[in-house]
């Protein structure tokens, strides 16, 4: 292998990258816009749900129930319909997403120690919001019961069970803290796969690929020279996007920068290898682009970025082990939020190394076959 010929390929790629008016914004500007836009969308907690309360009791107890819901920050009382018949149109129109019905005689029944139903109606058209709202409502009801029980036990002088829950790594339970590391990896993969999927097929379309191999340049020098610039660009992009994500969204960083950098470097190699493979097996640029987009859909769904892997059907879970993004999410979230080191993350990092070796091996084999055709 000639270092001079290799360096010429690297230089050629950098020159082409700098001259491409679309590629530079795609690699450096678009990821930041995606991070800011998606960070606020997917990382936002469910709060201020418009809520309508039907209060048939109209007592101090019913008002305390309403105060408990409205002061939680999860529910925003927007209407007080007279009855359930008036509540229906509010839910139908979307003016309210949650309806709470306080039955008559609630205060009296509670004083007697009786069990009183608290009607909670949730709009289920968005299952994520419905599930979260149901959980919040159950928590608030449980908290009200606990407060009443504490007051009674205190008056009786009896002991009580004091459950003290401590959430580690994300005490505030902010969704954004878990989503930003995932977004960094997802944006890196999307960008590199799309960009690299055009790398070789573009030269083939221009007719410069055949001209390249009239020169003494070997296939290994060509592929290595093709990969190196984009690997360096991926590292710069990951550093830039990661820094903006952590500082802008104030995500706690408990780990080592070296561990995160190593994880991103390994994942960058995997993403570049996948994009290169798509470029080599495609006959034109449109086909390469479609292949890249088709690959990203199952990657997003099966990686655990959007849906927890634990909640997936058992038959689908084995497929998630074939998604490199799954391992990148484990590495970034654990390193950034838990402070895990390389030793703790050896398994997912090794998996990314294996993926890189396999993907590049298949890419080289496809390249040889394509040249022989």
Q: What is the pLDDT of residues 193-233, one digit of tens each?
A: 999 998 888 887 777 766 776 677 787 888 898 899 999 99
Task: Specify whether 313 is located in the same domain as 350.
Answer: yes
Q: What are phi and psi of 252, to 5 degrees?
A: -65, 140
Q: Is residue 188 part of a domain?
A: yes
Q: Given this model, what pLDDT does residue 68 score?
A: 92
Question: How high is the pLDDT of residue 159?
Answer: 53
Domain match, 251 and 303 both? yes
Phi, then psi, of 165 in degrees rounded to 5: -90, 130
Is residue 163 a part of any domain in this protein?
no
Give me the sheet containing 118-122, strands edge to edge: 75-79, 49-55, 98-102, 118-122
Tell me what pLDDT residue 244 has.
Answer: 93
Residue showing tokens 């990969």: 227
Does residue 160 lie within any of the structural domains? no
User: Which pLDDT band, with edges at 50, 70 and 90, does 186 fall under?
Assistant: very high
Above 80 in pLDDT, residue 271? yes
Q: Is the per-residue pLDDT at 347 higher than 70?
A: yes
Q: What are phi and psi of 367, to 5 degrees?
A: -65, -45
DSSP secondary structure string for all residues of 24-58:
HIIIIIHHHHHHHHHHHHHT-----EEEEEEESS-
| CATH number (domain holding residue 105) | 3.40.1710.10
**Lowest-pLDDT choice from 47-51, 117-121, 123-127, 214-218:** 214-218
**Percent of the chain surpassing pLDDT 70:** 92
Count of helices and strands (H, E) across the chain: 16, 4
Rounded CA-CA distance 262/340 in Å is 13
Work out the pLDDT band at 318, boundaries 50, 70, 90. Answer: very high
Residue 15 CA to residue 28 CA, distance in Å, equals: 16
Q: What is the pLDDT of residue 25?
A: 85
Q: pLDDT higher for 348 or 163? A: 348
Work out the pLDDT band at 154, boundaries 50, 70, 90: low
pLDDT of residue 372: 60
pLDDT for residue 66: 93
18 and 85: one domain?
no
**Alpha carbons 179 and 118: distance in angstroms, whole number:** 34
For 68-106, give the DSSP string: HHHTTSSEEEEE--SSHHHHHHHHHHTS-SEEEEE-TTH
Measured distance CA(182)–CA(188) in Å, rounded? 10
Confidence category of residue 148, pLDDT binned at 50, 70, 90: confident
Instruction: Name the domain boundary from 123, 153, 183.
Output: 153
Together in a domain, 265 and 218 = yes
Are 24 and 106 in the same domain? no
Q: In angstroms, rounded to a whole number, what is the distance separating the alpha carbons of residues 76 and 92? A: 18
Q: What tokens does 191 get?
A: 């960008």
Mark whether 239 and 323 lie in a shared domain: yes
Which residues lie closer than 8 Å to 124 by C-beta, 6 or more apart?
130
Q: How confident is the model at residue 340 (pLDDT cuts 50, 70, 90)?
A: very high
Beta strands in the chain (DSSP E): 49-55, 75-79, 98-102, 118-122
Domain boundary among 153, 187, 206: 153
> Is the same domain home to 56 and 128?
yes
| Mean local confidence (pLDDT), 136-142 | 88
Q: CA geometry: angle at 97 spanning 92 and 103, to 5°?
A: 95
248 and 101 fall within a common domain: no
Tell me how far apart the alpha carbons of residues 56 and 65 are, in angstroms, rounded to a whole number: 12
Would you report the helix, strand and coil content of the chain in percent, each value rounded to 5? 65, 5, 25
* Percentage of the residues of the chain whose pLDDT score is greater than 90: 48
Burial class (CB in 10 A: 0-12, 13-18, 19+), 343: exposed
Q: Are residues 255 and 122 in the same domain?
A: no
Q: Which domain holds residue 54?
A: 49-153
Q: Could you give the number of structural domains in the chain?
A: 2
Same structural domain, 279 and 307 = yes
Q: What confidence category does residue 153 fall into, taking pLDDT thresholds of 50, 70 and 90? A: low
Residues 252 and 329 in one domain: yes
pLDDT tens-digit map of 61-92 = 999 999 999 998 899 999 999 998 999 899 98
More confident: 252 or 46: 252
pLDDT, tens only, 35-46: 988 888 776 677
Retrieve residue 33's tokens.
């816009």
Q: What is the mean pLDDT of residues 263-285?
A: 92
> Residue 186 has which token pair?
């997802």
Q: How far apart are CA 269 and CA 234, in angstroms?
A: 9
Please give the average per-residue pLDDT across 314-328, as a whole number.
Answer: 95
Q: Please report which confidence band the pLDDT of residue 24 belongs to, taking 50, 70 and 90 as the band edges.
A: confident
pLDDT attached to residue 80: 93
| pLDDT one-digit tens code per residue, 282-307 | 888 899 989 999 999 899 999 998 88
Please indicate, yes or no, whether residues 63 and 114 belong to a single structural domain of this protein.
Answer: yes
Phi, psi of 173 (to 5 degrees): 55, 40
Contact 107/59 with Cβ under 8 angstroms?
yes
**pLDDT for 161 beyond 60:** no
């Amino acid at each position: 292998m000639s270092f001079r010929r290799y360096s010429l390929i690297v230089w050629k790629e950098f020159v082409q990258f700098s001259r491409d008016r679309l590629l530079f914004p795609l690699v450096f500007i678009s990821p930041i816009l995606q991070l800011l836009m998606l960070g606020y969308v997917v990382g936002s907690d469910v709060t201020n749900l418009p809520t309508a309360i039907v209060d048939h009791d109209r007592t101090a107890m019913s008002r305390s129930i309403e105060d408990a819901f409205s002061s939680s920050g999860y529910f925003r009382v927007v209407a007080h319909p007279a009855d359930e018949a008036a509540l229906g149109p509010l839910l139908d129109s979307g003016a309210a997403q949650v309806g709470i019905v306080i039955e008559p005689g609630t205060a009296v029944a509670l004083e007697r120690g009786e069990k009183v139903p608290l009607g909670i109606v949730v709009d289920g058209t968005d299952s994520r919001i419905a599930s979260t709202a149901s959980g919040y409502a159950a928590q608030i009801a449980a908290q009200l019961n606990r407060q009443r029980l504490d007051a009674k036990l205190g008056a009786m002088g009896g002991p009580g069970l004091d459950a003290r829950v401590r959430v580690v790594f994300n005490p505030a339970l902010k969704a954004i803290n878990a989503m930003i590391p995932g977004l960094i990896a997802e944006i890196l993969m999307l960008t590199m796969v799309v960009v690299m999927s055009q790398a070789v097929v573009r030269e083939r379309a221009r007719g410069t690929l055949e001209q390249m191999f009239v020169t003494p340049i070997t296939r290994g020098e060509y592929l290595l020279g093709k990969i190196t610039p984009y690997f360096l660009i991926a590292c710069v992009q990951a550093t830039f996007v990661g820094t903006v994500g952590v500082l802008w969204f104030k995500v706690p960083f408990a780990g080592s920068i070296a561990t995160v950098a190593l994880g991103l470097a390994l994942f960058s190699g995997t993403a570049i290898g996948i994009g290169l493979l798509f470029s080599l097996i495609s006959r034109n640029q449109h086909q390469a682009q479609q292949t890249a987009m088709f690959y990203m859909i199952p990657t997003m769904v099966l990686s655990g970025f959007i849906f927890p892997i634990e909640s997936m059907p058992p038959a689908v879970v084995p497929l998630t082990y074939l998604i490199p993004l799954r391992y990148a999410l484990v590495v970034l979230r654990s390193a950034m939020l838990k402070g895990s080191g390389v030793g703790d993350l050896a398994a997912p990092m090794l998996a990314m190394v294996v993926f890189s070796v396999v993907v590049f091996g298949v890419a080289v084999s496809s390249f040889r076959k394509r040249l022989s055709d």
